[in-house]
């Protein structure tokens, strides 16, 4: 299959490229394709004529988006609209990668795909607006929401390990709960969906749940590092963008269609640290 991968140099994009070796991949990043430029996207897609697009490109600086709403809107909303329109014109299917931040985090149970969204940040709102445009423009779409992603790039795991090199004690939030998700598991789910005609909205995270504090403890346990970790509240660690307190996602639709092959989050982090 000929697949266009946007954001190919990001964490997820790199893993998609690694797992997509059996496909004909066309790779772009912000240097090679301005997804917010409607004309540029249309011309590019007419030229390469992809059968599918895995749209990984996104404005993911959650706190930065609070001060740069126009920038986040340009990438996450206008960019998604342009890619979806290009897919409609060329007959391509589209994978749009979204986020747990579309939910407000007030639910005590895991969120399913059809639960009410209520984003609390600029990042969450722009990703939700991107979702809605993809749904309206293109029937052949897979909207894949994920959470707490880590892979080949800057992420929480690498940040914790780096900080541990120069700090004996770290303070980590304990009252935000979610599911750490490896790009390996997410990319596998994406390719499984692309092999099907089961279009729609999906959740794709690893299995289980934990707080950021528990995540940090597991990282250091797996890495064999002795670091004192002090649990703190969200109020003690203020950030510009509001985080959902409980954003565990249930991969319900994945299980009901192509099957859920994601692993327990502890197993995935063990593999990641051993690399």
In this structure, is residue 240 part of a structural domain?
no
In this structure, is residue 241 part of a structural domain?
no
In this structure, is residue 215 part of a structural domain?
no
Question: Mean pLDDT in each 10-residue stretch from start to end of the chain (275 residues)?
Answer: 98 98 96 96 98 98 98 99 99 99 98 98 99 99 99 96 95 98 99 97 99 98 96 95 98 98 98 92
Count of domains observed in the chain: 1
In this structure, is residue 144 part of a structural domain?
yes
Q: Which domain holds residue 111?
A: 2-155+180-208+247-264
In this structure, is residue 26 part of a structural domain?
yes
The model scores a pTM over 0.95: yes
Catalytic residues: 123
**CATH number of 203's domain:** 3.40.50.720
* Alpha helices, DSSP H, located in the chain: 11-19, 38-48, 64-67, 69-73, 79-90, 122-137, 156-164, 183-194, 212-223, 252-256, 265-274
In this structure, is residue 170 part of a structural domain?
no
In this structure, is residue 161 part of a structural domain?
no
The pLDDT, as a whole number, for residue 275 is: 82
In this structure, is residue 232 part of a structural domain?
no
């Amino acid at each position: 299959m000929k697949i266009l991968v946007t954001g190919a140099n990001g964490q997820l994009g790199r893993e998609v490229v690694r797992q997509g070796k059996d496909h004909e991949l066309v790779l772009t990043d912000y240097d090679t394709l301005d997804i917010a430029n409607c004309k540029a996207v249309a011309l590019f897609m007419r030229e390469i004529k992809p059968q599918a697009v895995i749209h990984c490109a996104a404005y993911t600086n959650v706190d930065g988006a609070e001060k740069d709403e126009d920038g986040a809107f340009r990438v996450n909303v206008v960019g998604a609209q342009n890619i979806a329109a290009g897919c409609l014109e060329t007959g391509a299917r589209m994978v749009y990668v979204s986020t747990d931040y579309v939910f407000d985090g007030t639910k005590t149970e895991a969120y399913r795909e059809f639960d009410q969204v209520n984003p609390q940040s600029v990042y969450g709102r722009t990703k939700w607006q991107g979702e809605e445009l993809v749904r309206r423009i293109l029937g052949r779409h897979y909207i894949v929401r994920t959470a707490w992603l880590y892979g080949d790039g800057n992420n929480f795991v690498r940040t914790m390990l780096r900080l541990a090199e120069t700090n004996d004690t770290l303070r980590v939030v304990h009252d935000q709960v979610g599911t750490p998700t490896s790009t390996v598991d997410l990319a596998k789910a994406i390719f499984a969906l692309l092999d099907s005609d089961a279009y729609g909205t999906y959740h794709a995270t690893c299995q289980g749940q934990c707080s950021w504090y528990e995540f940090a403890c597991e990282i250091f346990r797996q890495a064999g590092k002795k670091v004192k970790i002090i649990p703190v509240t969200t109020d003690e660690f203020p950030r510009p963008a509001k985080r959902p307190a409980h954003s565990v996602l249930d991969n319900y639709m994945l299980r009901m269609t192509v099957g859920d092959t994601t692993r327990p989050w502890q197993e995935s982090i063990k593999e990641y640290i051993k690399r």
